[in-house]
Amino acid sequence: MAASFLPSSFLGVFLFLTCFVYLNGSTSTTRHYKFNIRMQNVTRLCETKSIITVNGKFPGPRVVAREGDRVVIKVVNHVSKNITIHWHGIRQLQSAWADGPAYITQCPIQPGQSYVYNFTITGQRGTLWYHAHISWIRATLYGPIIILPKRHESYPFVKPYKEIPIIFGEWWKADPEAVINQAIQTGAGPNNSDTYTINGFPGPSKNCSANETYRLKVKPGKTYLLRMINAALNDELFFRIANHTFIVVDTDASYVKPFKTDTIYIAPGQTSNVLLKTKNFKPNAKYLMAARPYSTAASGTFDNTTVISVLEYDVGKTTVANSSIKALPVPPLPQINATTFVANWTNGLRSLANARFPANVPQTTQRRFFFALGLGTTPCPKNQTCQGPTNQTKFAAGINNVSFTMPTTSLLNAHFLRQSNGVYTTDFPTTPLNPYNYTGTTPNNTMMTNGTKVVVLPYNTTVELVMQGTSTLGAENHPLHLHGYNFFVVGQGSGNFNSTTDPPNFNLVDPVERNTVGVPSGGWVAIRFRADNPGVWFMHCHIEIHITWGLRMAWVVNDGKLSNQKLPPPPADLPTC
């Protein structure tokens, strides 16, 4: 036992025990947290609402650890809804039981129950996050995971003066569970959110004088590290600070070559560390920080509002009035549908790929997959009235025309017990059964089939996966998230993927390493990874309504031969269904 070596303000009060373990001369620490899932009244948009939180906090408390540490988090469910928590981006090497997606790696933590998530952070440093992974509970249940470099190790960039989480969220005045339940019932799109938030705050309110603006107080001439997280449910965002520029130094807890930009593009599920060098502006100077969506969806089908917060130079206790915030200029952002801008921006990201932080890109691959993903329809149940895209249909979404049906028990448990019969089938189509012009006009038949289908991979398989966005019912960007792995983004392009002319242009040297990648609207992306983590790993679009509609599947990665290549047995307190 020893006192923490991290600044106490960083650790917060939720870290109640810290232990050191000495291994081969290096130290690793176990960090214990307790998450009480509780209802909490909060006021936003001038209305008080009871929301599901961690320890009464919104956004939730910070989890802080160093690379190499073990993190043990006891989650106690005090609310009337089922809960699970996913540690988004954590590799969960041989700890699939702690990954968190409901009915994939665990049954829910039911009201009154608890479960201990227990995992190590291996080979990752930067910012990740946690969020509920059941229904739409994550609308209010999310928070940052801050992974510092190992003790005595430094950042591969200038030491920041301060580190600040910047978390984007999405807020409904209504209960988000009511919003999604209504959408499921009618088959139509969900009601749009009422505002975006930055660190939980929507900005100066239009309708009341409430103090609902996040303020970032800075000193001139310093370097700040902004730890950015897009926790919004359904929207990719552009972010900008008036009169300032950024240097992106990491994405999804992997370092990138310093990338200078005045605008950040960030998809739901993605994280990024960004340096902000403040200028020698005079005291009390104020600049707006603004975020609003990137979307190619039809006008009216997404929240098209702008969230505002304020960068304040060296101010004391004075608070700027709503009216004076509103008078400041909003920084110009790219057009809502700026697909070319997004393609160019994401093309600029490159792994650091140096001797200390190499990019271990699989140079050859054993299995290749082609996934066409997008929206579609399913029939309306006979006794129901549906308001989907066409008469008497419901919206659906899927991969290779399969809309994934959630099982009613944990896939990982079924896999571990070798009792997949009746739970899942292993016939997920590795290429579309009926190829078509994916970026052409909407095909006549938009119907999808349903099923709980998976792909099985032997341990250590090298995988190449091309994901093709389709224009069925409109072309949209789909930020695909893979659990349990990072992957390398070896290529991307617009239009249809060409299996002859595109692969020779793949970047196998310094591609960006991520856990969530935007499949371009009307385009494709190619990723590679090595299946070296046994378990069942969810892969899904991180736009919550698309996951609800079925844009999801799972990879079953079998055990290897050695004892350190096997999925361990489940913890004793694993919830049951």
Ligand X SMILES: *[C@@H]1O[C@H](CO)[C@@H](O)[C@H](O)[C@H]1NC(C)=O
> Which one of 220, 221, 348, 435 is in contact with ligand X (CB under 6 A)?
348
Do residues 528 and 362 lie in contact, with contact meaning Cβ atoms separated by under 8 Å?
Answer: yes
> Which one of 8, 41, 354, 450 is in contact with ligand X (CB under 6 A)?
41
d(C-alpha 341, C-alpha 347), whole Å? 10
> Which one of 44, 88, 546, 552 is in contact with Cu ion (CB under 5 A)?
546
CB contact burial 198-224 (16+ within 10 A = b; e otherwise): bbbbbbbbeeeeeebbbbbebeeeeeb
The window from 1-9, 108-116, 451-459, 472-480 that contacts ligand X (CB under 6 A) reads 108-116
Token couple for 442: 């909407």
Residue 543 contact, options Cu ion, ligand X, none, Cβ 5-8 Å cut-off depending on partner type: Cu ion
The window from 59-67, 354-362, 439-447, 551-559 that contacts ligand X (CB under 6 A) reads 439-447
**By C-beta, is 80 or 360 nearer to ligand X?**
80
| DSSP one-letter code for 318 | -
What is the longest distance spanned by two Cα atoms in the chain?
68
Do residues 136 and 193 lie in contact, with contact meaning Cβ atoms separated by under 8 Å?
Answer: no
The window from 9-17, 186-194, 330-338, 534-542 that contacts ligand X (CB under 6 A) reads 330-338
Restricted to residues 463-492, the positions that interact with Cu ion (CB under 5 A) are 478
**By C-beta, is 439 or 486 nearer to ligand X?**
439
> Which one of 68, 108, 160, 520 is in contact with ligand X (CB under 6 A)?
108
The window from 152-160, 436-444, 511-519, 544-552 that contacts ligand X (CB under 6 A) reads 436-444
Q: How far apart are the first and last CA of the chain?
A: 37
> Which one of 46, 330, 336, 508 is in contact with ligand X (CB under 6 A)?
336
Q: Is 304 in the site for ligand X (CB under 6 A)?
A: yes
Q: Is 540 in the site for Cu ion (CB under 5 A)?
A: no
Q: Is 543 in the site for Cu ion (CB under 5 A)?
A: yes
Residue 8 contact, options Cu ion, ligand X, none, Cβ 5-8 Å cut-off depending on partner type: none
CA distances from 341 to 238, 264, 346, 348, 558 (A): 11, 11, 9, 11, 40
* Among 475, 474, 553, 454, CA closest to 518: 475
* Among 379, 417, 421, CA closest to 396: 379
Q: Is 541 in the site for Cu ion (CB under 5 A)?
A: yes
Q: Is 138 in the site for Cu ion (CB under 5 A)?
A: no
Q: Is 192 in the site for ligand X (CB under 6 A)?
A: no
The window from 85-93, 268-276, 364-372, 433-441 that contacts ligand X (CB under 6 A) reads 433-441
Do residues 194 and 227 lie in contact, with contact meaning Cβ atoms separated by under 8 Å?
Answer: no
Q: Is 82 in the site for ligand X (CB under 6 A)?
A: yes
DSSP tally for the chain: helices H, then strands E: 6, 33
> Which one of 72, 158, 330, 406 is in contact with ligand X (CB under 6 A)?
72
Q: Is 453 in the site for Cu ion (CB under 5 A)?
A: no
The residue written with tokens 């991290």 in the block is 6
Do residues 274 and 249 lie in contact, with contact meaning Cβ atoms separated by under 8 Å?
Answer: yes
**By C-beta, is 413 or 521 nearer to Cu ion?**
521
d(C-alpha 165, C-alpha 197), whole Å? 13
d(C-alpha 108, C-alpha 102), whole Å? 6
Q: Is 44 in the site for ligand X (CB under 6 A)?
A: no
> Which one of 106, 401, 439, 468 is in contact with ligand X (CB under 6 A)?
439
Shortest spacing between CB 2 and ligand X, in angstroms: 18
d(C-alpha 385, C-alpha 453), whole Å? 28
Q: Is 113 in the site for ligand X (CB under 6 A)?
A: no
**Contact string (CB under 6 A) for ligand X, positions 476-495, x = contact:** --------------------
**Contact string (CB under 6 A) for ligand X, positions 393-422, x = contact:** ------------------------------
Do residues 536 and 554 lie in contact, with contact meaning Cβ atoms separated by under 8 Å?
Answer: yes
- How many residues touch Cu ion under the rule CB under 5 A: the total is 4
Please state, as a whole number, how many other Cβ atoms lie within 10 Å of the Cβ of residue 330.
14
- 3-state SS, residue 43: strand
Do residues 509 and 70 lie in contact, with contact meaning Cβ atoms separated by under 8 Å?
Answer: no
What ranges make up the beta strands (E) of 405-531? 449-451, 454-457, 461-469, 478-482, 487-494, 513-514, 516-519, 523-531
**By C-beta, is 128 or 545 nearer to Cu ion?**
545
Residue 440 contact, options Cu ion, ligand X, none, Cβ 5-8 Å cut-off depending on partner type: ligand X
> Which one of 328, 330, 406, 577 is in contact with ligand X (CB under 6 A)?
577
Radius of gyration of the chain (CA): 23
Shortest spacing between CB 108 and ligand X, in angstroms: 4
Token couple for 396: 């659906």
**By C-beta, is 526 or 574 nearer to Cu ion?**
526
Residue 420 contact, options Cu ion, ligand X, none, Cβ 5-8 Å cut-off depending on partner type: none
Q: Which residues of the shown chain bind Cu ion in the complex (CB under 5 A)?
A: 478, 541, 543, 546
Interacting residue ranges for ligand X, rule: CB under 6 A:
39-41, 50, 72, 82, 107-108, 110, 116, 118, 211, 214-215, 242-243, 299, 304, 319, 335-337, 341, 344, 348, 381, 383-384, 391-392, 437, 439-440, 444, 496, 577
